[in-house]
Amino acid sequence: MLKDVTLGQFFPGKSLIHRLDPRTKLLILIGYIVALFLAVSWLSYGVVFVFLVSCIAISRIPVKSFFRGMKPLIFILVFTGILNIFFTQGETVLVQFWKITVTLEGLIRAFFMVFRIMLLITGTFLLTYTTSPIALTDGLESLLSPLKKIKLPVHELSMMMCIALRFIPTLIEETDKIMSAQKARGADFESGKLMQRVKALVPILVPLFISAFRRADELATAMECRCYHGGDGRTKMKLLRMRSFDYYSFLVSAAMIAGVCVLRHFGL
C-alpha cells in the first residue's frame, strides 16, 4: 500500500537525454521555462511545443507516464481554464447569458494558460524522469558552487538533500512496519472521528521519529568513521564532465529560445 507511492520518479535509461550532464539539463530547463513565459503567439508556443515533444521522443519515456504525473494537478488546470474563460474581457462575444459572457479572446487565453502550465510541468517531469536524484544533487551543487564565495554551505546543502532523498524509501518501509505492528496490537487507523484518527497516529509517529533520529545518529557516526569532514578537498567518483553533445544541446536550446525572442519582438 504505502510502497506503491512512486516517489522515485527516475526512469533509468540510456537515451541521449539520460546521458546529458545534469547541469546541462538544469540550465536548459531554466532556459525552456523562460522561453515558455516569453511565448505569446500560436507560433511561439508551437516552437516550444515542438522542442519539448522532440526531447520526449529522444528520451523514449512513455508519454503515458507524463499524463499520470499530471493527474494530481488536474484541479489547478481546470480552475485556471475556467477562470480565464469567464473573466477575460474581449470583443468577440460567443455566448452570453445572465451575467456571464464568454469571448473568443477568453477562450484562447484560457487555452494558452492551461497549455503553458502543462508544458511547464511536462518539461520539469522530463528532467526528474531522466535524471537520478544523485545526479541531480551533484549538478545542483556544481551549479551553485560560485555561491561558496559568499559563504553559502553549498556542499553541505547538497549532501543533506542527497541524504534526505536516500532515506525516503527507508522511512516509508519503516512506517509500513510500525503500522502493521500497531495494527497487530489492535490499533485502528481507518475508523473514528477526526480527533480519534489524529490521536491514532501517535503510536506511529513516536516510533518513526525515534527511529529517524537513531538512523541519523548512526549515519553520522558511520560518516565520521570514514573521516567525512565536509566538502573541502573532497573528490568525486563520478566527475561531471561536459561532452560534445552537451554543447550541441545548448546550441539547439539557445536557438529555440532565440527563436521565441525574435517572434516576440515581431509581436507574433
Partner 1 sequence: MAPFLEVKNLTHKYSAGTPFEHTALCDVSFTLERGEFIGVIGHTGSGKSTLMQHLNGLLKPTSGSIALDGTDIWQDKKTTRQTRFRVGLVFQYPEYQLFEETVYKDIAFGPKNMGLDAAEIDRRVKESAAAVGLSQELLTVSPFDLSGGQKRRVAIAGVLAMEPELLILDEPTAGLDPAGREEILSYIDSYRKAKQATIMMVSHSMGDVARMADRLIVMNKGRIALMGAPGEVFCHARELVDMGLDIPALTRLFLQLKELGLDVEPVYTQEQAVKALLALRGGNANA
Q: Is 207 an interacting residue with respect to partner 1 (CB under 8 A)?
A: yes
Tell me whether residue 3 or residue 166 sits nearer to partner 1 (CB atom).
Answer: 3
Amino acid at 93: V
Contact with partner 1 (CB under 8 A): which of 19, 68, 166, 177? Answer: 177
DSSP secondary structure letter of residue 5: -
**Rounded Cα distance, 28 and 225, in Å:** 39
Q: Count other C-beta atoms under 10 Å from residue 51's C-beta.
A: 23
Contact with partner 1 (CB under 8 A): which of 180, 234, 262, 268? Answer: 180
**Minimum Å distance from CB 17 to partner 1?**
22
**Rounded Cα distance, 84 and 108, in Å:** 9
Which of 215, 240, 57 is closest to 134 using CA atoms? 240
Q: Is 3 an interacting residue with respect to partner 1 (CB under 8 A)?
A: yes
Q: Which range, of 142-150, 175-183, 219-227, 247-255, touches partner 1 by CB under 8 A?
A: 175-183
Tell me whether residue 5 or residue 43 sits nearer to partner 1 (CB atom).
Answer: 5
Q: Is 178 an interacting residue with respect to partner 1 (CB under 8 A)?
A: yes
% helix, strand, coil for the chain, step of 5? 75, 5, 25
**Minimum Å distance from CB 216 to partner 1?**
15
Q: Is 186 an interacting residue with respect to partner 1 (CB under 8 A)?
A: yes
In the chain, at which residue ranges do the beta strands (DSSP E only) sit? 93-97, 100-103
**Rounded Cα distance, 33 and 27, in Å:** 10
Q: Identify residues 210-229 at the interface with partner 1 (CB under 8 A).
A: 210-211
**Minimum Å distance from CB 233 to partner 1?**
38
Q: Which range, of 81-89, 99-107, 138-146, 205-213, touches partner 1 by CB under 8 A?
A: 205-213
Q: Is 68 an interacting residue with respect to partner 1 (CB under 8 A)?
A: no
Tell me whether residue 124 or residue 211 sits nearer to partner 1 (CB atom).
Answer: 211
**Minimum Å distance from CB 152 to partner 1?**
37
Tell me whether residue 203 or residue 231 sits nearer to partner 1 (CB atom).
Answer: 203
Contact with partner 1 (CB under 8 A): which of 74, 150, 184, 239? Answer: 184
Residues 6+ positions from 47 with CB-CB distance below 8 Å? 35, 39, 256, 259, 260, 263
- For residue 263, give the C-alpha cell: 517572434
- Would you mind telling me the total number of residues written for the chain in this entry? 268
Q: What is the CA radius of gyration of the chain?
A: 24
Q: Which range, of 86-94, 128-136, 162-170, 206-214, touches partner 1 by CB under 8 A?
A: 206-214
Q: Is 202 an interacting residue with respect to partner 1 (CB under 8 A)?
A: yes
- CB-count burial class (<10 Å; 0-12, 13-18, 19+) for 236: exposed
Contact with partner 1 (CB under 8 A): which of 7, 43, 152, 181? Answer: 181
Which of 31, 26, 55 is closest to 240 using CA atoms? 26
Interaction site with partner 1 (CB under 8 A): 3-4, 177-178, 180-188, 202-203, 206-207, 210-211
